[in-house]
Amino acid sequence: MTENLTLTAKTLIEAHEASDVSATNGIVCLANILRKRGLLTDAETSAMYDSMSLPFGLPKYAGNRAVQELQLNLDQLFAVVVAPK
């Protein structure tokens, strides 16, 4: 990666999106590992989910379909974490 990259709005947005997905996946993966080891309670898992969901529920995003899709994805990921063992 020694080439000179041109940063455009599109590449910056894509990098930000990729970073968000990576962070979300990492957090959910860690939560799943901790749950399987008995180190994360139901209440802690719920608090983690709530804190990650909070921005999606802000009024300014209410009509944004892309934000709604992100919330749905987070719901599905956490459904795996809290599934019965």
DSSP of 16-55: HHHHHHHHHHHHHHHHHHHHHTT-S-HHHHHHHHHHHHGG
What distances in angstroms separate CA 29 from CA 13, 24, 62, 70, one per listed residue? 24, 8, 27, 17
∠ CA 57-62-63, rounded to 5°: 155
- Residue 85: pLDDT above 70? no
Stretch 57-64: mean pLDDT: 92
Reading the block at residue 45, the tokens are: 């898992």
Q: What is the pTM of this model?
A: 0.78
Give residue limits of the domains in the chain: 41-85
- H or E segment to which residue 12 belongs: helix 9-36
